[in-house]
Amino acid sequence: TQLLEQSPQFLSIQEGENLTVYCNSSSVFSSLQWYRQEPGEGPVLLVTVVTGGEVKKLKRLTFQFGDARKDSSLHITAAQPGDTGLYLCAGSMNRDDKIIFGKGTRLHILP
Amino acid sequence: NAGVTQTPKFQVLKTGQSMTLQCAQDMNHNSMYWYRQDPGMGLRLIYYSASEGTTDKGEVPNGYNVSRLNKREFSLRLESAAPSQTSVYFCASSFPVSNQPQHFGDGTRLSIL
């Protein structure tokens, strides 16, 4: 059973379009993290959200943690080819627990 | 500031051979992790070490052993490699609290023939 479900699995859109990817669970998480991974490299942390309803912005990326702390979304405005990569969500159910990763959304922005 | 360093970057083994993947971090992190990443499977935790001197099994520990040599180094050993262990292996480190970021190395690409 996958505790963190990410959707869509793949997304290919034109440069300049907006997009949203999702990370969902039936369990409550104490915190969720989003990572981006580029080919041949390890994942790199983008953001951590810890409070239900929290919204964080990182330039054109907006991250939201659901009110019930069971889901999160990543919205990209005016996507650019440099946004291409694998986006992973990860979370822990308790503060001292190890982190669980979703399977990721592979995003491809066409120039 | 190197972060997390993994060696080797690439390796090809024959079935039944053994090898050790090395990982070192220079961020004074207590916790270290070994993951494997396979297409469509995401990152799966093999073993982790919450602190020097302790190790625990993750989701997919069978066929692997680990050693937390000191605070900096955490190695992963395949005693008798099998084709099912063909994967990309990532080492990561973090402070022990779960909402702290994990810092990843660039991976070891391992093929078992």
Q: Round to whole Å and give the CA distance between A2 and B42.
A: 10
Q: What is the pLDDT of residue A2?
A: 65
Cβ distance A33 to B41 less than 8 Å, yes or no, reads no
Cβ within 8 Å, pair B106-A41? yes
Q: Give yes or no for A92 touching B (CB within 8 A).
A: yes
Higher pLDDT, A30 or B75: B75
Q: How far is B85 from chain A (nearest CA, A)?
A: 18
Instruction: Work out the average pLDDT over A70-87.
Output: 96
Higher pLDDT, B65 or A39: B65
Q: Confirm or reject contact between A89 and chain B (CB < 8 A).
A: no
Long-range contacts, stretch B109-112, CB < 8 angstroms, 24+ apart: B109/B9, B109/B10, B109/B11, B110/B10, B110/B11, B110/B12, B110/B13, B110/B21, B110/B85, B110/B86, B111/B11, B111/B12, B111/B13, B111/B86, B112/B12, B112/B13, B112/B14, B112/B15, B112/B81, B112/B82, B112/B83, B112/B84, B112/B85, B112/B86
**How, if at all, do strands A31-37 and A44-49 pair?**
antiparallel
| pLDDT of residue A54 exceeding 80 | yes
What pLDDT digit, counting tens, does each position of B3-27 carry?
Answer: 999 999 999 999 999 999 999 999 9
Give yes or no for B48 touching A (CB within 8 A): yes
pLDDT for the residue B91: 97
Chain A contact for B55 (CB, 8 A cutoff): no
Residue B42 pLDDT > 60, yes or no?
A: yes
Helix, strand or coil, per DSSP, at residue B106: coil
Confidence of residue B39 (pLDDT cuts 50, 70, 90): confident
Please determine, for residue A97, whether its predicted confidence score (pLDDT) is greater than 90.
no
User: Is B101's pLDDT higher than 80?
Assistant: no
Spatial CA neighbour of B71 closest among B86, B49, B38, B89: B49
Distance CA A13, CA B7 (A): 36
Q: Between chains, do B98 and A45 touch, taking CB under 8 Å as contact?
A: no
Average pLDDT over residues A55-65: 96
- Asked if residue A1 has pLDDT above 60, the reply is no
Average confidence score pLDDT of chain B = 92
DSSP E strand boundaries for chain A: 5-7, 10-14, 19-24, 31-37, 44-49, 55-58, 61-65, 71-76, 85-92, 100-101, 105-110
- Closest Cα of chain A to B18: distance in Å? 24
Average pLDDT, integer, range A53-64: 96
**Confidence (pLDDT) at B98:** 61
User: pLDDT class for B95, splitting at 50, 70, 90?
Assistant: confident
- B48: which chain A residues are within 8 Å (Cβ-Cβ)? 98
Q: Is the distance from CB of B90 to CB of B44 less than 8 angstroms?
A: no
